[in-house]
A and B are shown apart, each in its own frame.
Chain A
Amino acid sequence: MAALLEIKNLNVTYRNKEKSVYAVRDVSLSLEEGDALGIVGESGSGKSTLAMGILRLLPEATADVTGKCLFKGETDLLSISQKEYADLRWKDISIVFQKAMNSLSPVHRIRTQIEDIYHVHEPKASKEEIRERSLELFRMVGLPERVYNLYPHEMSGGMLQRVAIAISLLHEPSLLIFDEATTALDVVTQGQILDEVVRLEKSMHMTRIMITHDMSVVSASCSKVAVMYAGCLLEFGPVGKVLKDPAHPYTQKLMESFPSLHGEIRELKSIPGSLPDLSILHEGCVFAERCSKACERCLKERPAMRDVETGHSAACFALKEVL
């Protein structure tokens, strides 16, 4: 079976007059139907940029996106026109953003916004039809009906996040991206929403990408995980394998810093050094400067992704020693 999404050598570079920032470098990964992929990394690791790059929502004047991104084995999301892409949006790929509070227009009722979004692909749909569909989704995510007529400021953060999720499910997309979608919520609400999402996607046959810096979110709701650092993919594999037996020194450090799996990656205090300057194209491994296992080769040559075992790979020269 062809992969639902196959990212090949994706690069995202922000450019302005003075310099370029290499925000995502040469990332390749693939996603099968029904997968739930967690992309984790510190802030500035390029994980959100990666998603925005796939969605082609970065400003074209300042952001260069290169590589391939095959959707359902045939459509290259990066080379089709914006017009062609518009047909895929929300019907096939939808997204829920970081701050629910800001993901809805504050001066329009939820109803108005849902109607407008629904009409993008179903221009003839009646208001009644849309209302019924929305209320059905509201029930699924645990929202009362009255929400439909409210303004965003009349709701709590948790409710808004549920609204945003309901809206993302309007057309039952095959790929759903969550960009830090639960970060701003309290732990209890976050847990409830994650449970519902996992349940929903099983019934709707959806594939999900979860961008987060919270390891507990990944362990609770994902089947695969990709670890990013300074724009590069360092490790990729099934959640059980990667979290329990990390292959890359960076992932190992990451797991050491959060033994309980219930913390956020804010700043890696346990690893000396800081994030490298992304405006320089580093020759060697991006993590070499902070890596305790780094050798001379790591500073000169960039390690490619190599299989640790089937379906679990990492970008490190020291892999054998690890094994």
Chain B
Amino acid sequence: MKRYVVKRIFSGLLTVLLVFTLNFVIIKAAPGDPIKTLMGKENSDPQLRAALEEKWGLNQPQYVQYFNYLRNAVQGDLGTSITYNQSVNKLIAEKVGPTVLLGVAAAIVALFIGTAMGIYCARHEGGIGDTIFSGFAYTLDAMPSFWLGLMLILIFASRLGWFPTSSMTDVRAGYTGMRYVADVAYHMVLPCLCLIAITMPGYFRIAKSSVLQVTNEDFITTLRATGMDEGKIFRKYIFRNAILPTITTFGITLAFLITGVTLIEIVFAWPGMGRLTMTAINQRDYPTLLGIYLIVSVAVSLVMILVDIVYALFDPRIRFE
């Protein structure tokens, strides 16, 4: 177990290092002067320029520059946003809350629905329910998330008027307390639904194939041969074995989920990192974009390490390694 955890943390760190390195390479390789990239095209303040050159050590050899960059990044210095003239750290810290709220809520619901449906379809393989739902999941998997978001707005907000089209709260109403929470929940329905719809097929697929596979294992046949009740075989043995890949999928889906959240936030004008990303792209605010990329990558790596450790708790084969 110890060795396993150390190994997982090591490869997590390796990923983070890779991300930092890629970031460095990209800035250096991008067309034009890297300082200009970090300052913004319109800005020509010589003081800022001197400060950045100092920080990057541009007159020093490449590898020194690289280590300078690594040192800054590791210390959490992600630079200053061109558009907001604020530290990128602070900008991201302000926007991270709504994104996490949306992402985590959707991830959990998708996990449960997708897995439950996957199990159902595996238990009734070839039945009508399976055929319909498998086809449904297949189509959802092929859908651009943002397009689905637009369709939800078109149908449920614009035509039916059941839900608001955008944003996180009704600013004019100025709710407080429980009313505020209810208002946020109300605004969350459509974006959440959209995110659930696009992440659910992943859980569905893995749960279905995993249950089908475990059902065909020899030890299940053995248990059947003992006369054990089918319900018990399923609840205790099939489920416990088949759920393992789902845990891993939860980690892998995360990177995908963050992409999804970003796009969905833009569709629904949700005030999170996705919106920040969009503004940064429009303004060519590179320090902010680089910062977002770093933060997201580090966050994904961290969660993946966590997921792997949780996995080990469920699988004795790894726990006792």
Contacts and interface: CB of A to CB of B under 8 A. Distances in A.
Direct contact of A and B (CB under 8 A): yes
Interface stretch (B34-42, B234-242, B277-285): B234-242
B217 interface: yes
Interface string A104-117: 11111000000011
Given A87-B227, A116-B228, A153 B317 contact: yes
Interface stretch (B186-194, B218-226, B248-256, B297-305): B218-226
A103 B218 contact: yes
B232 interface: yes
A313 to B, nearest CB: 30
B61 interface: no
A99 interface: yes
Nearest to A94: B225
Contacts of B162: none
A117 B226 contact: yes
B219 A120 contact: no
Contacts of A97: 218, 221-222
Nearest to A86: B227
Interface in B192-223: 217-219, 221-223
B128 to A, nearest CB: 15
B307 to A, nearest CB: 17
B315 interface: yes
Contact of B225 (A57, A98, A108, A116): A57
A106 B317 contact: yes
A86 B221 CA distance: 13
Interface residues of B, number: 23
A121 to B, nearest CB: 7
Given A105-B237, A106-B316, A117 B228 contact: yes
B320 A117 contact: no
Given A107-B316, A153-B317, A154-B320, A102 B227 contact: no
A261 B296 CA distance: 65
A154 B241 CA distance: 17
A8 interface: no
A89 B225 contact: yes
13 contacts: A57-B221, A87-B227, A94-B226, A97-B221, A105-B237, A105-B240, A106-B241, A107-B315, A116-B228, A116-B236, A120-B227, A153-B316, A154-B320
Interface of A: 55, 57, 85-91, 94-95, 97-99, 102-108, 116-117, 120-121, 151, 153-154, 164
Interface of B: 217-219, 221-229, 232, 236-237, 240-241, 244, 314-317, 320
